[in-house]
Amino acid sequence: MIVVTDGSRVLGLGDLGVHGIGIAIGKLDLYVAAAGINPQRVLPVMIDVGTNNGKLLKDPLYLGLQQHRLDGDDYVAVVDEFMEAVFTRWPNVIVQFEDFQSKWAFKLLQRYRNTYRMFNDDVQGTAGVAIAGLLGAVRAQGRPMIDFPKQKIVVAGAGSAGIGVLNAARKTMARMLGNNEIAYESAKSQFWVVDAKGLITEGRENIDPDALPFARNLKEMDRQGLREGASLVEVVKQVKPDVLLGLSAVGGLFSKEVLEALKDSTSTRPAIFAMSNPTKNAECTPEVAFSILGDNIIFASGSPFRDVDLGNGRIGHCNQGNNMYLFPGIGLGTLLSGSRVISDGMLQAAAER
């Protein structure tokens, strides 16, 4: 197993340059501990193409290249060369991409996924764990799994993790609705995506092409009493979602007002997923969620939190929705099956399991 990073977007900490290597080491520790991979058969790799972190560029003790990041074709050429060399040397290796900034995460995944045994943990691992959580939430609401395509989901964040989750959730819904074009088309209407500029609609200028399929129709939003750029609170109030999914890397984004608005959810047991890491970037803490909404919610976070004592012997359970539950299994399964590529179907099966 190789876990490779360029340190450009480490968790919610941003561009750490070569200091991001700790993430690659930590992920491989989990491959050893959870998937039983021989520790002599794992290799953390840092592709140092510079850093755009001003502090590191001035730091005399910084160990990496003190220059601005390579970009464009020059950057792709370096990663191409790395992939070619690694698979020439170890034809059966699996390469996990970790903490690449959004603009490259998708491009590199699409570029290599059909030729090499590789996957991107931020895009696909986060998506798989979120799907597992979303399916688990349907079950915890006392409904059959087949009801998943009826869930109304408000997503905060449209980076690589957010878009990865949206695409995977849409595919899962489409599979349950008959796995055809019509099903795939209708599934997208279950999502409302809010980024730093508010609700994403077709009225947005310079829309990110990855987010475009989830931009809401303006006329339809008008009927819902929403507009382009509507705030998270407004969206939650109008949509009354079953699930509030946080992948924004903005700590405390699920404020008191947002959680109060969720009280009107049409679900008997709304789900709150505060998935952003590290702890200070979590969209809300379980204490805040349970104190405002009571114990009739499903709560999951990307970082570990303790269960909340609600008094009278009641406990607010805090589940951890972290990629660590998925990626060691993906790697091990790929290794054991001898699969040449890591397909969406494999990730889907892992999430459903």
pLDDT of residue 155: 96
pLDDT, tens digit (0-9, with 9 covering 90-100), for 103-132? 899 999 999 999 999 999 988 988 899 899
Helix ranges restricted to H, the chain? 21-35, 54-58, 72-89, 102-112, 126-140, 160-176, 181-187, 218-224, 232-239, 256-261, 286-293, 327-337, 344-352
Confidence at residue 330, expressed as pLDDT on a 0 to 100 scale: 94
pLDDT over 90 (residue 308): yes
What does 253-268 look like in DSSP terms, one character per residue? -S-HHHHHHGGG-SSS
pLDDT at 352 over 90: no
Reading the block at residue 315, the tokens are 């406990």
pLDDT value for 253 = 96
pLDDT in tens, 73-106: 999 999 999 999 999 999 999 999 999 998 899 9
Q: Which residues fall in the annotated binding site?
A: 9, 98-99, 122, 277, 322
Whether residue 342 has pLDDT greater than 80: yes
**Pairing between strand 315-316 and 43-46?**
unpaired
Domains and their CATH numbers in the chain: 2-116 (3.40.50.10380), 125-322 (3.40.50.720)
Largest CA distance in the chain: 62
Residue 74: predicted pLDDT: 98
Are the C-beta atoms of residues 327 and 125 closer than 8 Å to each other? Answer: yes
Query: Contact at 8 Å (CB) between 326 and 132?
Result: yes
Residue 76 backbone phi and psi in degrees, to 5: -60, -40
* pLDDT score, position 278: 87
Smallest CA-to-CA distance from 256 within 288, 281, 285 is with: 288
The whole-angstrom separation of Cα 117 and Cα 129 is 20
Query: For position 159, what pLDDT does the model report?
Result: 86
- pLDDT at residue 353 greater than cutoff 90: no
* Burial group, residue 233, by CB count within 10 angstroms (0-12, 13-18, 19+): middle
- Read off the pLDDT of residues 135-171 as tens digits, 9 standing for 90 and up: 999 999 999 989 999 999 999 999 888 898 999 999 9
Residue 243 and residue 275 in contact, taking contact as beta carbons nearer than 8 Å: no
pTM: 0.83
Residues 126 and 122: their CA atoms lie apart, in Å, by 5
Residue with tokens 């991979």: 37
By residue count, the chain amounts to 353
Q: How confident is the model at residue 185 (pLDDT cuts 50, 70, 90)?
A: very high
Angle between helices 102-112 and 160-176 (to 10 degrees): 50
For residue 131, give the 3-state DSSP assignment. helix
CA distances from 239 to 152, 185, 192, 297 (A): 8, 20, 8, 17
- Binding-site residue positions for a divalent metal cation: 98-99, 122
* Distance of alpha carbon 142 from alpha carbon 267, whole angstroms: 11
- Within 10 Å of residue 241's Cβ, how many Cβ atoms? 25
Q: Please state, in angstroms and as integers, the Cα–Cα distance from residue 290 to each residue in 13, 249, 271, 297, 303, following that order.
A: 27, 21, 11, 7, 17
Could you give the percent of the chain with pLDDT greater than 70? 100
Query: In the predicted model, what is the mean pLDDT of residues 224-245?
Result: 96
Numbered residues of the known binding site for (S)-malate: 9, 277, 322
Q: Is the pLDDT of residue 187 over 90?
A: yes
Q: Which tens digit of pLDDT belongs to each residue from 241-291? A: 999 999 999 999 999 999 999 999 999 899 999 999 889 999 999 999 999
pLDDT for residue 9:
92
* pLDDT confidence tier of residue 309, bands split at 50, 70 and 90: very high
What span, in angstroms and rounded, lies between the C-alpha atoms of 139 and 18?
42
Residue 345 banded pLDDT, cuts 50, 70, 90: confident
**Token pair for residue 1?**
């197993």
The pLDDT of residue 12 is above 80: no
- How is residue 257 written in tokens? 């007002």
